[in-house]
Structure formats: C-alpha cells, structure tokens
Amino acid sequence: MSVDTDKFIVANISNRHVHLNESDFIELFGEGAKLKSIRDLVQPGQFACRERVTIVGPGGKIDNVRIIGPIRKYTQVEISRTDSYILKFSQPPLVRDSGNLAGSSPVTIIGPKSKVSLKEGCIIAKRHIHFTPQDAERFCIKDKQIVSVRAGIGTDRTVIFEEVLCRVGEKMALECHLDTDEANACGLKNGDKVEIII
C-alpha cells in the first residue's frame, strides 16, 4: 500500500489513568489538596499529575495509576484490555468514548486519605483522534466521523486500526490516541506518525 504523507499525524500512547471530579478528589486526597502538574499534555489545558491512586477491580488491583488533570465533572478510570485481566474482570469493561459511562464497569479508587467505590466509571477508551476545526477542514473530517488509522508504518508490524473516532473541537490539538495494547501490537512509540485512512 502507498503512504499518503499529507495524512500523517502524531500519535501518543494513552496508558491507564484516572480523571476525577471535585468531590471524589477531596475524598481521596483530603480537604485543601490541589492537583500538582508534572507536565503538560498535548491537549490544551490537560496535564499529568504527581498524584497517583490504586485502582481495584473484582479480584485484583493496580498501584500507582496517574491522575490526569484538570478536575472534571465526572470520575472516569481508563484501562487497557490487558489491565482488565490484572483486575480480574469476568468481562472486560466496555469500549467507550470518554464521558460515556452509563452501564460501564464498577471500580474502586484508593487514595492516601480514603477510597471511592464507583458503581460505574471504568472503561476501555475507544481509539480516537483530536482535531481543531481547522485541522478537521484540512483532513475533510467531521465531528464523530469514524475513520481507520495505519500505524507502525515502515516496520514489519504495520497495523490498520478500524473504528477510530474523530473528535473536533476548538479546545483540542491534532493528536491520535491509542492505548498500550494497540501501541504494542504495532511497536508504536510516543510521537510516532500514523496515517489517517478515510
């Protein structure tokens, strides 16, 4: 297959992480606690935090899971399918777009002060691409459009990922997000280029 270099975009790997709402953050870290940024992420206003938590599933746990700031309106735990085996889910969590938590898996989050048990909130994030409106116009993409992405280009592990969700917004930056399982399948590293296939 030929490679269309005009359709190259940067990809980054989304490792397991947690987004917290204000009340859950206070419960886990205590009154007066503040999120401490250690580095900015590509998406405007988002940052990796110094704070970490433990996530607990039906029969297992994972320590040192990073929180991603800022505080959100909802609490959400994002894991990979491999993580779901460590947490011993009988069925892996649903693959969902961020924020679509209805009917998602229960999970417990343990912080330094307390714990929060969620009836729903754990998902495997749907692979996706962020676009500014200008980038979306350049790539002829509409919000919520589904495309494919070719990754691992130039290696012996080239993979085409289908069902990739496109998100378009003024407060976004052009970036493809794949999780650790997807990245490992094609030897992808942070900052590698992938190709959009429409």
Same domain, 118 and 163: no
Across the chain, what does the average pLDDT equal? 95
Q: What's the rounded mean pLDDT across residues 176-181? A: 98
Same domain, 85 and 168: no
Q: Domain ends where: 74, 91, 125? A: 125
The parent domain of residue 119 ranges over 15-125
Same domain, 61 and 94: yes
Q: What percent of the chain has pLDDT over 70?
A: 97
Give the model confidence (pLDDT) of 118-142 as tens digits. Answer: 999 999 999 999 999 999 999 999 9
Give the model confidence (pLDDT) of 23-57 as tens digits. Answer: 999 999 999 999 999 999 999 999 999 999 999 99
Same domain, 37 and 51: yes
Domain CATH number, residue 179: 2.40.40.20
Residue 160: count other Cβ atoms within 10 Å of its Cβ: 15
DSSP letters of 93-124? PPEE-TT--TT-EEEEEE-SS-EEEEEEEEEE
Same domain, 140 and 101: no
Q: Provide the pLDDT confidence category of residue 5 given band limits of 50, 70 and 90.
A: low
Same domain, 72 and 44: yes
Q: What percent of the chain has pLDDT over 90?
A: 94
Q: pLDDT at position 144, please?
A: 97
Number of domains in the chain: 2
Enter the pTM of the model.
0.92
Tell me: pLDDT of 189 over 90.
Answer: yes
Q: Check if the beta carbon of residue 182 is closer than 8 Å to that of residue 125.
A: no
Same domain, 114 and 135: no
Q: Provide the pLDDT confidence category of residue 6 given band limits of 50, 70 and 90.
A: confident
Same domain, 158 and 116: no
Distance between first and last Cα of the chain? 14
Same domain, 114 and 37: yes
Alpha carbon distances (Å) from 26 to 36, 61, 76, 99, 106: 14, 22, 15, 20, 20
Q: Domain ends where: 101, 125, 149? A: 125
Q: pLDDT at position 178, please?
A: 98
Same domain, 120 and 173: no
Q: Provide the pLDDT confidence category of residue 7 given band limits of 50, 70 and 90.
A: confident
Q: Domain ends where: 125, 157, 172? A: 125
**Alpha-carbon distance 49 to 23, whole Å?**
17
